[in-house]
Amino acid sequence: MNATILVIEDEASIRTVTRAYLEQAGFRVLLAVSGLEGLEVAQRDRPDLVVLDLNLPGMDGMEVAARLRQESDIYILMLTARSDESDRVAGLRIGADDYLSKPFSPRELVARVQAILRRRRSAPPVDAVLRFAHVRIDPDRREVRAAERLIDLTTTEFDVLLALARHHGRVLNREQILDLVWGDDFYGTDRVVDVYVGQVRRKLEAATGTQLIQTVRGVGYKFVDER
Ligand code: CA
């Protein structure tokens, strides 16, 4: 079954070109010209991935992403006008899975979309639950619980936690984490690892009152909960 991609973009020329390339690659494409319309379409048609322009009139892309994230763990590819690092980090912080700076080549956009969806497909189908003193991680259901309370993680945050937890007690460097989570499909920098680890750490700490991920200065990160 072909994946459905929702493109939320106010510039008509970008919508048209993006749709043409995605359709040519075999995707079903839905279009929205504003954040509000995008949210409606997402709710109604449940696309697999959203290509989301950061700079939209009215409700901006950040808010749209935050609302999408409240309702589902849909994949988000963010389009940013500036190549500014703070913009990209902000995009990742609200849970985008990848970002692309304008102007971009439509071929590149298709490649990124395919890469994100490939990550999903390559996830192993059945996997043992990892039980630790403070958290229980269920790779199959993609759930993390502290006591019985569910901890709300985005798709990529979950993958980062899983990579660290599977190597608990051992230090993973940034490159290893990039490899385990993003594989060969990664286009960004090591900095992304720090952003995601920071987010996961904050959420785990809020839920458990404990620091479960340690920074090993100059090396990387280590998940330290007891089994
Ligand atoms: Ca725009």
Residue 197 Cα, ligand 1 centroid: separation in angstroms? Answer: 30
Peptide bond into 103 cis (omega under 30): yes
CA angle 36, 42, 47 (to 5 degrees): 150
In this prediction, residue 162 carries a pLDDT of 95
In angstroms, the CA 9 to CA 53 distance is 5
In this prediction, residue 134 carries a pLDDT of 95
How does pLDDT run across 36-74, given as a tens digit for each residue? 999 999 999 999 999 999 989 889 898 899 888 877 778
pTM of the entire structure? 0.60
All residue ranges of the chain with pLDDT < 70 are: 1, 82-85, 87-95, 120-126, 184-188
Length of the chain: 227
Residue 139 Cα, ligand 1 centroid: separation in angstroms? Answer: 37
Nearest to 144 by CA among 164, 127, 158, 163: 158
Q: What are the structural domains of the chain? A: 4-121 (3.40.50.2300), 130-223 (1.10.10.10)
Residue 61 Cα, ligand 1 centroid: separation in angstroms? Answer: 9
Q: What are phi and psi of 2, to 5 degrees?
A: -80, 140
Nearest to 167 by CA among 208, 124, 207, 137: 137
Residue 65 Cα, ligand 1 centroid: separation in angstroms? Answer: 14
In this prediction, residue 218 carries a pLDDT of 85
Nearest to 159 by CA among 116, 206, 208, 100: 116
In this prediction, residue 51 carries a pLDDT of 97
Residue 184 Cα, ligand 1 centroid: separation in angstroms? Answer: 30
Residue 54 Cα, ligand 1 centroid: separation in angstroms? Answer: 7
3-state secondary structure of 156: helix
Residue 53 Cα, ligand 1 centroid: separation in angstroms? Answer: 6
Query: Encoding tokens for residue 112?
Result: 């990124």
